[in-house]
Structure 1
Amino acid sequence: MYIGKSYNLFEFVIWTKGKIYMLLLLSAIPVILYDVLEIKWIAIPWSVIAMLGTATAFILGFKNNLSYKRSLDAQDVWTSILSNSRAWGLVSRDYLNSEISKDLIYRHIAWVTALRYGMRTLKTWESTNETNNVAYRKLFKIPEQETNLEEELAKYLIASELQAVLKSKNISTHILSLQSKTLKSLYDKQEITVLQFVDMEKSIKDFYNLQGKSEQIKNSPFPGQYNTINNLLVRSFTFLLPYGMLNDFDKLNEGMAGFMKGNMIWLIIPFSFLISWLYFSIVQVGENTENPFEGGANDVPISQISFQLEIELRQMIGEINLPEFSMPQNNIIL
């Protein structure tokens, strides 16, 4: 998640530089054909470009709204995980003795850790390995790529539990099942009352639901039909745009004097490039918002939420030697 006031122009240029050369070339070709080679018939009526641009803008706005909604849904899920986890820490501490409380809290931290690692697993439809994102990713580090899951889980689980969960297909699900198994054992021993048992089992059910919602966002790609029509319209518009500007810019020469007389047509290159670049940038923003767990600068900060939870839960049971909050890297937190 980017926490600065806004991206500066330099950062945006770095992020979108892969398109810059192509767009400059597309803007220059029709000008050269029209003015240098005097192929006048390539000019297209501006009304055609205006209609295409309007349709493109409409689809862009629709798609980006859907992308932003996915990001908001992911933020809501992990905000609920944060608040529900705080409640879990309180009841674990207050219902049980300190040793069992620590086991339940540490196991819960392991669950959040396993879940965030699962969310960072790369999917084929995600854009994190595209050239523009790889270049921009030099500005920050993804915590889940700095250490492996086994090392992290070893901090919170005993050896026998660690080996068991690592063999399971869904580690997060297995950890929650261990929590439920522990609660059942405590109830059988009459160390918790039936109301406490029901209350804590309901919390585990809630965590399962939140895990499922997070996994659904992660494992469901953005509908391909919207991406297809979106890319088709944007590419068509940016390709045809300079052809639609030829007649209008050529007419500007009639009232012009001095150096620019007869050369106004060449202004199409910067203006067409700027408009096309803005359209492609909007597309890129949408593509990098629709997958909120992929490890990009616009992700939901699930790593930071996990680190925050660990500190708060361990404080609840009186621990002092706590990890420090991770600092933003170039105004980006993950």
Structure 2
Amino acid sequence: MHIGKQYKLVEFLIWTRRDIYWLLGLAAIPTTLYAVLGWKWIAIPWVPIAVIGTAAAFIIGFKNTQTYNRLWEARQIWGAIVNTSRSWGILSRDFVKADASVHSELMLRHCAWLTALRYQLRETRGWENTNKPHFKEYRKFYSIPEWETPLEDELKKYLPESELAYVLSKKNRATQLIAIQSKRLKELRERNQIAEFEYVELAQTLSNLYEQQGKCERIKNFPYPRQFASLTMFFVWLFVFLLPLGMLNEFAKIGPECVWFAIPFSTVVSWVFTSMDRVGEATENPFEGSANDIPMASLSRTIEIDLRDMLDEENLPPPIAAKNNIVL
């Protein structure tokens, strides 16, 4: 997530520079054929290009609206996780009649759940965009915590060795950690360390966490429909290909030498369309590891700080710092 006022123009140009190279070539080739070789027949009327451009703009707008909705829903889910996590902290501290070690166990296991969940959500899917060259190149501006530190090293901070080995042997680690929490609550209830009403409240909190996890998994495992994504790409690049052909006659009307202006103007107009498409593409998978993703590591650290503070710990971990105004 970018937390600055705006992206710098140079950052945006670096991110889209590969498209710019293609756009320059697509504009330069027909212009050279028209001006140097005299291929006047390649110029086409402006009207059909304008119609295609209108259709492309419409479907780009539709795509960007829908991908933003996916991003915003993901942020709302993690907002709910933050709130429910704080509720878990005070409930496990005040409802469980046990010593501080049990309170710490329940809260640290919850931090382990947060860690396992965000690692699962950062796993790559075939339809995601993180392996595309322009996304790979932009990663030098930020870092993805889940890709830098192994999950086992992170979970060691919160779980005992026996529990850690059990969790790592499972496929869905986050699900199993909630199951362990439920089992632990049942044991405490059988020892009368949790009253019946308080036990129900704690169990309901775990159920709420499962619900939020399921919502995250739904967004992660169901891509923005491929038919809409493909149609957007086809329309945009069809428009980009035809645009220089329509500009040739328009600039030729000013003067024969002005036909070369078709190259920069076609490039700029095409860049606007392709960049809008890239913005939507960078937003459609809010957990994939792009610079515009949900800052799960930062939110998890905020929750951990709050929970440890409830335990009156003194050496609290620092918040995760942004790199180039990007925090994940």
Residues in 2 aligned to 1:152 and 1:199: alpha-carbon distance in whole angstroms:
29
Residues in 1 aligned to 2:225 and 2:148: alpha-carbon distance in whole angstroms:
31
What's the CA shift for 1:248? 1.3
Report what 1:316 is aligned to. 310
Report what 1:116 is aligned to. 118
Q: Which amino acid aligns with 1:186?
A: L
The answer as to 2:146 corresponding to 1:152 is no
The answer as to 2:111 corresponding to 1:106 is no
What's the CA shift for 1:133? 1.0
Residues in 2 aligned to 1:29 and 1:241: alpha-carbon distance in whole angstroms:
12
Is the partner of 1:292 in helix, strand or coil? coil
Q: Which amino acid aligns with 1:284?
A: R
Report what 1:35 is aligned to. 35
Give deviations 1:36-75, integer Å, cap 9, x for gaps.
1111111111011110000000000001111100000110
The answer as to 2:279 corresponding to 1:285 is yes
What's the CA shift for 1:81? 0.3
How many residues align? The count is: 326
What's the CA shift for 1:32? 1.1
Report what 2:51 is aligned to. 51
What's the CA shift for 1:34? 1.2
What's the CA shift for 1:172? 0.3
Q: Which amino acid aligns with 1:154?
A: K
Residue number among 187, 190, 206 corresponding to 2:189 in the alignment: 187
Is the partner of 2:127 in helix, strand or coil? coil
Q: More deviation in 92-101 or 265-274?
A: 92-101
Q: Which amino acid aligns with 1:64?
A: N
Q: Which amino acid aligns with 1:294?
A: E
Give deviations 1:159-213, integer Å, cap 9, x for gaps.
1111111111110000000110011111111111110000000000000000000
Report what 1:259 is aligned to. none
What's the CA shift for 1:296? 0.8
Report what 2:90 is aligned to. 90
Residue number among 296, 301, 307 corresponding to 2:301 in the alignment: 307
What's the CA shift for 1:152? 0.8
Is the partner of 2:254 in helix, strand or coil? helix
What 5-or-longer segments of structure 1 have no aligned partner?
Answer: 254-261
Is the partner of 1:329 in helix, strand or coil? coil
Report what 2:63 is aligned to. 63
Residue number among 129, 132, 137 corresponding to 1:130 in the alignment: 132
Q: Which amino acid aligns with 2:18?
A: G
Is the partner of 1:294 in helix, strand or coil? coil
**1:229-308 alignment to 2 at 5 Å?**
229-253=231-255, 262-308=256-302
**1:195-206 alignment to 2 at 5 Å?**
195-206=197-208
Residues in 2 aligned to 1:163 and 1:18: alpha-carbon distance in whole angstroms:
45
Q: Which amino acid aligns with 1:57?
A: A
Alignment RMSD, CA only?
Answer: 0.8
What's the CA shift for 1:130? 1.0
Residues in 2 aligned to 1:189 and 1:294: alpha-carbon distance in whole angstroms:
43
Q: Which amino acid aligns with 1:206?
A: N
Is the partner of 2:243 in helix, strand or coil? helix
Q: Taking structure 2 as the reference length, what is the TM-score of the superposition? A: 0.98
Report what 1:330 is aligned to. 324
Report what 1:176 is aligned to. 178
Q: Which amino acid aligns with 1:288?
A: A
Q: Taking structure 1 as the reference length, what is the TM-score of the superposition? A: 0.96
Give deviations 1:121-145, integer Å, cap 9, x for gaps.
1111111111111111011111112
What's the CA shift for 1:80? 0.4
Give deviations 1:267-296, integer Å, cap 9, x for gaps.
110000001111111111111100111111
What's the CA shift for 1:147? 1.0
What's the CA shift for 1:220? 1.1
Residues in 2 aligned to 1:318 and 1:105: alpha-carbon distance in whole angstroms:
12
Q: Which amino acid aligns with 1:279?
A: F
Report what 1:80 is aligned to. 80
Report what 1:258 is aligned to. none
Runs of 4+ in 1 over 2 A off after TM superposition: none
Report what 1:23 is aligned to. 23
Q: Which amino acid aligns with 1:42?
A: I
Is the partner of 2:179 in helix, strand or coil? helix
Give deviations 1:66-102, integer Å, cap 9, x for gaps.
1100000110111100011001101111112322111
Residues in 1 aligned to 2:143 and 2:251: alpha-carbon distance in whole angstroms:
47
Give the share of equivalent positions with the same residue, in percent: 49
What's the CA shift for 1:221? 1.4
Is the partner of 1:288 in helix, strand or coil? helix
